[in-house]
Amino acid sequence: MPEFEFKLISRANKAEEARIISDIEDTIISTYRYYAITIDGETKGVVNSIETANTVIDEVKSDLLEGVELNIGMVEIFTTDKNIENIDETKNVLNGVKLAKTDAYKKEQEEKRKAAEEAKRKKAAARLAQTTTPGAVTGSLNGMSISRPVSAIMISSRFGSSGSRRSGHTGLDLACNTGAPITPISAGTVTFAGYKGSYGNLIIIDHGNGVQSYYAHCNSINVGVGQSVSTGTVIGGVGSTGNSTGPHLHLEIRVNGTPINPEGYLY
Ligand SMILES: [Zn+2]
Protein backbone atom coordinates (compact mmCIF):
# COMPACT_ATOMS: atom_id res chain seq x y z
CA MET A 1 0.00 0.00 0.00
CA PRO A 2 1.29 3.51 -0.78
CA GLU A 3 1.58 5.90 2.10
CA PHE A 4 -0.22 9.24 1.97
CA GLU A 5 0.42 12.29 4.04
CA PHE A 6 -1.78 15.35 4.58
CA LYS A 7 -0.14 18.71 4.12
CA LEU A 8 -1.35 22.27 4.43
CA ILE A 9 -0.74 24.28 1.29
CA SER A 10 -1.38 27.79 0.22
CA ARG A 11 -4.89 28.67 -0.82
CA ALA A 12 -3.43 29.91 -4.09
CA ASN A 13 -2.46 26.33 -4.95
CA LYS A 14 -5.99 24.98 -4.52
CA ALA A 15 -6.52 22.04 -6.86
CA GLU A 16 -9.65 20.42 -8.31
CA GLU A 17 -10.87 17.33 -6.42
CA ALA A 18 -10.93 15.29 -9.62
CA ARG A 19 -7.33 16.22 -10.31
CA ILE A 20 -6.33 15.06 -6.80
CA ILE A 21 -8.09 11.69 -7.29
CA SER A 22 -6.46 11.14 -10.66
CA ASP A 23 -3.08 12.04 -9.20
CA ILE A 24 -3.61 9.52 -6.41
CA GLU A 25 -4.68 6.84 -8.88
CA ASP A 26 -1.58 7.48 -10.92
CA THR A 27 0.64 6.78 -7.95
CA ILE A 28 -0.99 3.56 -6.73
CA ILE A 29 -1.16 0.06 -8.20
CA SER A 30 -4.44 -1.82 -7.73
CA THR A 31 -4.31 -5.62 -7.68
CA TYR A 32 -7.44 -7.69 -8.22
CA ARG A 33 -8.10 -11.27 -7.16
CA TYR A 34 -9.68 -13.72 -9.60
CA TYR A 35 -10.26 -17.44 -9.85
CA ALA A 36 -8.91 -19.22 -12.87
CA ILE A 37 -10.67 -22.47 -13.80
CA THR A 38 -8.25 -25.09 -15.11
CA ILE A 39 -8.42 -28.44 -16.88
CA ASP A 40 -5.34 -30.62 -16.53
CA GLY A 41 -3.64 -27.60 -14.94
CA GLU A 42 -4.28 -25.38 -17.95
CA THR A 43 -6.31 -22.18 -17.47
CA LYS A 44 -9.59 -22.28 -19.39
CA GLY A 45 -11.26 -19.14 -18.02
CA VAL A 46 -11.46 -16.54 -15.28
CA VAL A 47 -14.23 -15.57 -12.85
CA ASN A 48 -14.51 -13.03 -10.03
CA SER A 49 -15.50 -15.16 -7.07
CA ILE A 50 -15.04 -18.60 -5.64
CA GLU A 51 -18.85 -19.03 -5.65
CA THR A 52 -19.06 -18.33 -9.38
CA ALA A 53 -16.14 -20.69 -9.99
CA ASN A 54 -17.91 -23.49 -8.09
CA THR A 55 -21.18 -22.86 -9.94
CA VAL A 56 -19.46 -23.02 -13.33
CA ILE A 57 -17.57 -26.20 -12.39
CA ASP A 58 -20.74 -27.89 -11.06
CA GLU A 59 -22.61 -26.97 -14.22
CA VAL A 60 -19.93 -28.42 -16.50
CA LYS A 61 -19.65 -31.58 -14.41
CA SER A 62 -23.42 -32.11 -14.09
CA ASP A 63 -23.90 -34.25 -17.21
CA LEU A 64 -20.39 -35.69 -17.37
CA LEU A 65 -20.41 -39.22 -18.79
CA GLU A 66 -19.30 -41.81 -16.25
CA GLY A 67 -15.82 -42.98 -17.10
CA VAL A 68 -14.72 -39.66 -18.59
CA GLU A 69 -11.98 -38.02 -16.53
CA LEU A 70 -12.29 -34.22 -16.38
CA ASN A 71 -9.39 -33.06 -14.27
CA ILE A 72 -10.95 -29.71 -13.41
CA GLY A 73 -9.50 -27.31 -10.85
CA MET A 74 -9.41 -23.74 -9.61
CA VAL A 75 -6.45 -21.42 -9.00
CA GLU A 76 -6.46 -18.07 -7.19
CA ILE A 77 -4.76 -15.42 -9.33
CA PHE A 78 -3.81 -11.77 -8.69
CA THR A 79 -3.62 -9.28 -11.49
CA THR A 80 -3.65 -5.54 -12.15
CA ASP A 81 -6.10 -6.12 -15.00
CA LYS A 82 -9.61 -5.02 -14.25
CA ASN A 83 -12.82 -6.70 -15.47
CA ILE A 84 -11.29 -9.84 -16.92
CA GLU A 85 -14.14 -12.11 -15.80
CA ASN A 86 -15.52 -14.13 -18.77
CA ILE A 87 -18.15 -16.58 -17.44
CA ASP A 88 -19.85 -17.46 -20.74
CA GLU A 89 -16.61 -17.94 -22.59
CA THR A 90 -15.28 -20.07 -19.72
CA LYS A 91 -18.35 -22.31 -19.90
CA ASN A 92 -17.99 -22.65 -23.66
CA VAL A 93 -14.34 -23.61 -23.44
CA LEU A 94 -14.94 -26.08 -20.59
CA ASN A 95 -17.85 -27.69 -22.43
CA GLY A 96 -15.69 -27.93 -25.56
CA VAL A 97 -12.99 -29.81 -23.64
CA LYS A 98 -15.62 -32.03 -22.04
CA LEU A 99 -17.11 -32.89 -25.43
CA ALA A 100 -13.69 -33.72 -26.90
CA LYS A 101 -12.83 -35.93 -23.92
CA THR A 102 -16.22 -37.65 -24.09
CA ASP A 103 -15.78 -38.36 -27.81
CA ALA A 104 -12.28 -39.70 -27.22
CA TYR A 105 -13.57 -41.89 -24.39
CA LYS A 106 -16.41 -43.28 -26.51
CA LYS A 107 -14.02 -43.96 -29.37
CA GLU A 108 -11.63 -45.75 -27.03
CA GLN A 109 -14.45 -47.89 -25.59
CA GLU A 110 -15.62 -48.75 -29.11
CA GLU A 111 -12.08 -49.73 -30.11
CA LYS A 112 -11.74 -51.89 -27.00
CA ARG A 113 -15.06 -53.56 -27.77
CA LYS A 114 -14.02 -54.19 -31.37
CA ALA A 115 -10.62 -55.57 -30.31
CA ALA A 116 -12.29 -57.93 -27.83
CA GLU A 117 -14.75 -59.08 -30.49
CA GLU A 118 -11.96 -59.62 -32.99
CA ALA A 119 -9.91 -61.58 -30.42
CA LYS A 120 -12.96 -63.72 -29.67
CA ARG A 121 -13.59 -64.30 -33.38
CA LYS A 122 -9.93 -65.22 -33.96
CA LYS A 123 -9.99 -67.62 -31.03
CA ALA A 124 -13.13 -69.29 -32.34
CA ALA A 125 -11.65 -69.46 -35.84
CA ALA A 126 -8.44 -70.98 -34.47
CA ARG A 127 -10.44 -73.62 -32.64
CA LEU A 128 -12.44 -74.36 -35.77
CA ALA A 129 -9.22 -74.62 -37.70
CA GLN A 130 -8.10 -77.50 -35.53
CA THR A 131 -10.07 -79.96 -37.58
CA THR A 132 -10.16 -83.69 -37.41
CA THR A 133 -10.90 -86.21 -40.09
CA PRO A 134 -14.56 -87.12 -40.29
CA GLY A 135 -15.19 -90.80 -40.77
CA ALA A 136 -12.14 -91.91 -38.77
CA VAL A 137 -13.16 -94.48 -36.17
CA THR A 138 -12.96 -93.02 -32.67
CA GLY A 139 -14.88 -95.48 -30.51
CA SER A 140 -17.21 -98.41 -30.34
CA LEU A 141 -20.74 -98.78 -29.00
CA ASN A 142 -22.62 -102.09 -28.70
CA GLY A 143 -19.95 -103.67 -30.89
CA MET A 144 -20.43 -101.02 -33.55
CA SER A 145 -17.62 -98.67 -34.55
CA ILE A 146 -18.25 -94.93 -34.13
CA SER A 147 -16.82 -92.09 -36.24
CA ARG A 148 -16.91 -88.33 -36.00
CA PRO A 149 -19.80 -86.76 -37.91
CA VAL A 150 -18.09 -83.40 -38.60
CA SER A 151 -14.52 -82.17 -38.85
CA ALA A 152 -14.81 -79.48 -36.18
CA ILE A 153 -13.65 -80.40 -32.71
CA MET A 154 -15.08 -77.36 -30.95
CA ILE A 155 -17.71 -78.55 -28.54
CA SER A 156 -20.07 -75.65 -27.92
CA SER A 157 -22.35 -77.44 -25.48
CA ARG A 158 -21.89 -80.72 -23.65
CA PHE A 159 -24.34 -83.49 -22.83
CA GLY A 160 -26.41 -83.25 -19.65
CA SER A 161 -27.43 -80.33 -17.48
CA SER A 162 -24.73 -77.73 -17.16
CA GLY A 163 -24.28 -73.98 -17.34
CA SER A 164 -27.48 -72.11 -18.07
CA ARG A 165 -29.44 -75.19 -19.11
CA ARG A 166 -32.23 -75.98 -16.70
CA SER A 167 -33.07 -79.36 -18.17
CA GLY A 168 -30.53 -81.90 -19.41
CA HIS A 169 -29.04 -81.47 -22.85
CA THR A 170 -29.76 -84.67 -24.76
CA GLY A 171 -26.85 -84.36 -27.16
CA LEU A 172 -23.48 -82.89 -27.95
CA ASP A 173 -23.23 -79.55 -29.80
CA LEU A 174 -20.37 -79.23 -32.26
CA ALA A 175 -19.75 -75.73 -33.60
CA CYS A 176 -19.08 -75.70 -37.33
CA ASN A 177 -19.25 -73.38 -40.27
CA THR A 178 -22.58 -73.27 -42.01
CA GLY A 179 -22.74 -75.93 -44.70
CA ALA A 180 -19.94 -78.09 -43.24
CA PRO A 181 -20.55 -81.69 -44.37
CA ILE A 182 -22.15 -84.12 -41.93
CA THR A 183 -21.41 -87.85 -42.16
CA PRO A 184 -23.09 -90.57 -40.05
CA ILE A 185 -21.32 -91.85 -36.93
CA SER A 186 -21.77 -95.36 -38.33
CA ALA A 187 -23.48 -97.13 -41.21
CA GLY A 188 -27.24 -97.42 -41.03
CA THR A 189 -30.61 -96.56 -42.51
CA VAL A 190 -32.28 -93.15 -42.54
CA THR A 191 -35.55 -93.27 -40.58
CA PHE A 192 -36.34 -89.55 -40.55
CA ALA A 193 -35.28 -86.66 -42.76
CA GLY A 194 -37.18 -83.40 -42.37
CA TYR A 195 -38.14 -80.54 -40.10
CA LYS A 196 -38.96 -81.40 -36.49
CA GLY A 197 -39.72 -78.56 -34.02
CA SER A 198 -36.77 -77.28 -32.04
CA TYR A 199 -34.45 -79.76 -33.80
CA GLY A 200 -34.98 -77.82 -37.02
CA ASN A 201 -33.93 -79.91 -40.02
CA LEU A 202 -33.29 -83.33 -38.54
CA ILE A 203 -31.86 -86.59 -39.84
CA ILE A 204 -32.31 -89.76 -37.80
CA ILE A 205 -30.31 -92.86 -38.64
CA ASP A 206 -30.98 -96.30 -37.25
CA HIS A 207 -27.78 -98.35 -36.82
CA GLY A 208 -29.35 -101.54 -35.51
CA ASN A 209 -28.43 -102.97 -32.07
CA GLY A 210 -30.92 -100.47 -30.60
CA VAL A 211 -28.67 -97.53 -31.57
CA GLN A 212 -29.99 -94.41 -33.30
CA SER A 213 -28.26 -91.14 -34.07
CA TYR A 214 -29.82 -87.69 -34.55
CA TYR A 215 -28.30 -84.84 -36.56
CA ALA A 216 -30.15 -81.60 -35.82
CA HIS A 217 -30.25 -77.93 -36.96
CA CYS A 218 -29.04 -78.88 -40.49
CA ASN A 219 -29.24 -76.27 -43.22
CA SER A 220 -29.50 -78.96 -45.85
CA ILE A 221 -30.57 -82.61 -46.00
CA ASN A 222 -29.09 -84.84 -48.71
CA VAL A 223 -30.77 -88.13 -47.83
CA GLY A 224 -34.25 -89.62 -47.73
CA VAL A 225 -36.08 -92.03 -45.44
CA GLY A 226 -35.14 -95.65 -46.13
CA GLN A 227 -31.75 -94.76 -47.63
CA SER A 228 -28.74 -96.79 -46.56
CA VAL A 229 -25.78 -94.68 -45.52
CA SER A 230 -22.15 -95.29 -44.59
CA THR A 231 -19.62 -93.13 -42.78
CA GLY A 232 -18.57 -91.85 -46.20
CA THR A 233 -22.04 -90.50 -47.05
CA VAL A 234 -22.52 -86.76 -46.69
CA ILE A 235 -26.07 -86.80 -45.30
CA GLY A 236 -26.45 -83.01 -44.95
CA GLY A 237 -24.87 -79.70 -44.08
CA VAL A 238 -24.47 -77.95 -40.74
CA GLY A 239 -26.92 -75.12 -40.07
CA SER A 240 -28.82 -73.24 -37.44
CA THR A 241 -32.42 -74.26 -38.07
CA GLY A 242 -34.88 -74.83 -35.23
CA ASN A 243 -33.93 -73.73 -31.72
CA SER A 244 -30.33 -72.70 -32.33
CA THR A 245 -28.29 -69.56 -31.77
CA GLY A 246 -25.56 -70.28 -34.31
CA PRO A 247 -24.40 -72.89 -36.80
CA HIS A 248 -23.66 -76.18 -35.05
CA LEU A 249 -24.46 -79.85 -35.23
CA HIS A 250 -26.54 -81.18 -32.37
CA LEU A 251 -25.56 -84.84 -32.31
CA GLU A 252 -27.68 -87.17 -30.30
CA ILE A 253 -27.01 -90.88 -29.81
CA ARG A 254 -29.83 -92.95 -28.41
CA VAL A 255 -29.52 -96.50 -27.11
CA ASN A 256 -32.92 -98.22 -26.87
CA GLY A 257 -34.50 -94.77 -27.02
CA THR A 258 -32.43 -93.20 -24.24
CA PRO A 259 -29.93 -90.44 -25.11
CA ILE A 260 -26.37 -91.19 -24.02
CA ASN A 261 -23.36 -88.89 -23.88
CA PRO A 262 -21.66 -89.12 -27.30
CA GLU A 263 -18.48 -87.34 -26.21
CA GLY A 264 -16.52 -90.36 -25.01
CA TYR A 265 -17.06 -92.17 -28.31
CA LEU A 266 -15.89 -89.27 -30.43
CA TYR A 267 -13.25 -87.25 -28.59
ZN1 LIG B 1 -27.72 -79.43 -28.74
Mean pLDDT of the chain: 88
CATH number for 137-266: choose from 3.20.20.70, 1.10.3720.10, 2.70.70.10, 3.40.630.40: 2.70.70.10
Q: How far is the CA of 6 from the centre of ligand 1 (A)?
A: 104
- Surrounding residues of ion ligand 1, Cβ less than 5 A: 171, 173, 250
Q: How far is the CA of 91 from the centre of ligand 1 (A)?
A: 59
Q: DSSP assignment of 8-55, as one string?
A: ---GGG---HHHHHHHHHHH----EEEEEEEETTEEEEEES-HHHHHH
Angle at 65 between CA 59 and CA 71, to 5 degrees: 65
Identify the pLDDT of residue 157: 82
Is residue 180 a contact partner of residue 153, using CB atoms and an 8 Å limit?
no
Q: How far is the CA of 161 from the centre of ligand 1 (A)?
A: 11
Q: How far is the CA of 142 from the centre of ligand 1 (A)?
A: 23
Q: Indicate if the pLDDT at residue 165 is higher than 70.
A: no
Residue 53, burial from CB neighbour count under 10 angstroms (0-12, 13-18, 19+): buried
Question: What is the per-residue pLDDT across 172-224, written as a single tens digit (0 to 9) for each?
Answer: 999 989 999 999 999 999 999 999 999 999 999 999 989 999 999 999 999 99
Residue 130, burial from CB neighbour count under 10 angstroms (0-12, 13-18, 19+): exposed
The domain spans of the chain are 11-119, 137-266
Mean pLDDT, residues 146-164: 78
Q: Indicate if the pLDDT at residue 111 is higher than 90.
A: yes
Report which of 209, 223, 221, 222 is spatially closest to residue 254, judged by C-alpha positions.
Answer: 209
Identify the pLDDT of residue 92: 94
Amino acid letter, 51: E
Report helix, strand or coil for 198: helix
CA distance 122 to 38: 44
CA distance 171 to 174: 10
